[in-house]
Structure 1
Amino acid sequence: MLDTYERNINYLRISVTDRCNFRCVYCMPPQGKRWLDHDDILTYEELLRLIEVFNREGVTKIRLTGGEPLVRKGIVEFIAAVTALGRIKDISLTTNGSLLPPLAKDLKAAGLSRVNISLDTVNPASFARLTTCGRLEDTMKGIESAMEAGLAPVKLNVVLTEALTEKDLAYFVELVYRHPIAVRFIEYMPIGGRGFGGGPDIATVKKMLNEAGRALLKPTGTVRGNGPAKYYQFPRAQGAFGFITPISEHFCSACNRLRLTADGKLRPCLLSNDEIDVKTPLRNGASDRELAELFHAAVAAKPQGHSLCRSSGFPDFERTMSQIGG
């Protein structure tokens, strides 16, 4: 479905829970957040119905997020049910990776195509500070299990914070030479967390990668997923580096997504507080056509772009990143 600015909206990011086993500093405040009550979260049956309805309006790709989606019981069976619909061409998932090892093969068998795993540093102490309660070794095992299960391409999401060092970049350079993995550097977006501050900018990261790789990164084709990252590759490397710049270089003109929060709100734009309630009509007996009209309303409300930039500051967001689904 085309929006007001001729963008084809065919991608839905679905938050299946606001809960997470980490407390990443840029994702939620230090005191944490009050979790949604069980009854406030859309059931898997409700999500399946919305996926069917929205698919008829053009959605062919979904990504499951949280919180941490793997903390929700029944996630493997839910993915199998989405696959069984036979209508969604691409199912992916964003995770911190810590819970992946016992689930990776089952997720792949259920129909999950690939995963994005958050890994902002490979320094155990810095990782523990960033995540508050996470262990680096758990996430590293999750990455290994994803590659072994064939959830390809595995993508690593690296938020640019002061935790990122030359040693991290040297590790990532070695990684992409050895494995067909995509390491994506993401500008920090201040949505409800307490930040970590002081991270390098994209230009600096590229320069440091070139020095660590002793070669020049060259632009390469889009890595599977068709997201906002611009990809570069070293000669003879199996993997690639991606750069995602929501603040310094907006990619709104190519944005093809809506977001559905765990409590049933459609968000036309991540960087806006605007939401459309679909849970209440859904639970009050709305027809498929009425639910489709809410999807149309969200598409129509999608702005041409956001106006965030570091020089003008950032607005107050009513929800943290963990509550939105990223």
Structure 2
Amino acid sequence: MQREPLIDGHGRRISDLRISVTDRCNFRCQYCMPAEGLKWLERDGILRFEEIERLAALLAQMGIRTVRLTGGEPLVRKDFPALAALLTRIEKLDEVSVTTNGFLLERDAQALVQAGIARFNVSVDSLQRDRFFAQTRRDALPRVLRGLAHLATFPEAHPIKVNAVAIRGFTEHELLPFARFAREHPYEVRFIEYMPLDGDRSWDMTQVLTGAEIFDAINKHFPLEPAERAPHATARTHRFADGIGKIGLINPVSEPFCGDCDRIRLTADGRLRTCLFSLNETDLRTPLRTGATDDDLEQLIRDAIWRKELKHRVNEPGFIQPQRTMSAIGG
């Protein structure tokens, strides 16, 4: 069945969906959650596989074309490859991808590729073991790199993107090692400006290492040139001038890309969020479990998307950080 496309109140057509499959994570990254972790959702509070499949299929009928599965850490969800296989079979979806911290990739890469996952983003904030531990509070870098290398053996998984959150006072020391890494391996290394979604609620603008600063630092040593940018892409991608490797810059704080945002999010407990920084959510889990028809759900979704925020306002006076942290929203 084909339904009318999703259009927000600012005329933007919505085609990208992020689905958080769990709020749990086996890391405790400093930019995401406190060292002691957070209070996890109860098992019954998390959407079941069939509920996720139903919502994804309905949204595909309404024009969603790409889905990214996130967490928390999605690979800690029991039987996660089975969910991936359900979603890749949905008619009208062009792509289902996964964002992961890589800790369980050695175990799950083959199953996920066989399930039809065609793109992967792997979070790696440092290539130095002690600094990786300082950021994630887990001594896991060797295992993550083994998982990344294992994933790279599957041709269907490419291109593989390696994401690092850019934090002033930390990431400056990682730029050239990551640039060399991008030149020596078949990955696109991407730096994401630090955003106010941390569990400790200690973010401020002085901690943001901007994409422009990152570009300048790398370009001095390894000249860069722009690569083609797809419509609605969040990253500004650059090739090394000699053609060996790529660097991506995602600058939501210093250069917001809200104007052509085509994205919505579904949290692990079934709340629809129309912006990463939304202060309001739409409950879809309760209607799902109390007999709502697809037409009922469609109307709820359309009403929420019509109210989608024009921009996130991070740089503006009066900005309010959402109560949910990144791990509870879905990256």
- Under a length normalisation based on structure 2, what TM-score does the superposition of the two structures give? 0.92
- Distance between the aligned counterparts of 1:190 and 1:307, measured in 2? 11
Q: Is the 8 A contact 2:258 2:310 kept in 1?
A: yes
* Structure 1 segments (4+ residues) deviating >6 Å: none
Distance 1:133 1:313, change over 3 A: farther
Unaligned regions of 5+ residues in structure 2, if any? 1-5
Counting matched residue pairs gives: 321
Deviation at 1:199, TM superposition (A): 5.4
For 1:313 and 1:132, locate their aligned partners in 2 and report how far apart those are by CA, in whole Å: 32
Report the AA paired with residue 213 of structure 2: T
Query: Which residue is equivalent to 2:10?
Result: 5
Q: What is the TM-score with the length of structure 1 in the denominator? A: 0.93
Aligned to 1:85, the other structure's residue is in SS state coil
Which residue pairs with 2:25 in the alignment? 20
Match in the other structure for 1:99: 104
Which amino acid is the alignment partner of residue 289 of structure 2? R
Letter in 1 for 2:159: P
Q: Measure, in 1, the Cα distance between the counterparts of 2:175 and 2:243.
A: 15
Could you tell me whether the CA contact under 8 Å between 1:17 and 1:41 is conserved in 2?
yes
Counting aligned pairs with the same residue, the percent is 40
1:134-283 superposed matches below 5 A: 134-150=139-155, 151-161=157-167, 162-166=169-173, 168-194=174-200, 198=207, 200-213=209-222, 215=223, 217-222=224-229, 227-283=233-289
Aligned residues: CA RMSD: 1.8
Cα distance, 1:226–1:101 mapped onto 2, change above 3 Å: farther
Counterparts of 1:285 and 1:220, CA distance in 2: 48
| 8 Å CA contact 2:313, 2:319 repeated in 1 | no
CA distance, structure 1, for counterparts of residue 107 and residue 88 of structure 2: 20
CA change 1:227–1:131 in 2 (3 A) is same
The answer to whether residue 142 in structure 2 is matched with residue 133 in structure 1 is: no
Q: How far does residue 313 in structure 1 lie from its aligned partner after superposition?
A: 7.3
Contact 1:173 1:212 (8 Å CA) reproduced: no
Structure 1 residue 233: deviation in Å?
1.2
| Equivalent residue number for residue 88 of structure 2 | 83
Deviation at 1:312, TM superposition (A): 4.1
Change in Cα spacing, 1:45 to 1:298, as seen in structure 2 (3 Å) is same
Structure 1 regions of 5+ residues with no counterpart? none
| Partner of residue 302 from structure 2, selected from 296, 300, 306 | 296
Instruction: Give the secondary structure class of the aligned counterpart of 2:171.
Output: coil
What whole-Å deviation, never above 9, does each CA across 1:62-104 have from its counterpart, x for those lacking one? Answer: 0000000000011111111112233311000110011101211
In 1, are the aligned partners of 2:20 and 2:330 still within 8 Å (CA)?
yes
Mapped contact 2:32–2:197 kept (Cα < 8 A): yes
**SS at 1:76 equivalent:** helix
Equivalence map 1:46-65=2 (5 Å): 46-65=51-70
CA–CA distance in structure 2, aligned partners of residues 320 and 134 of structure 1: 23
8 A contact 1:252–1:305 mirrored in 2: yes
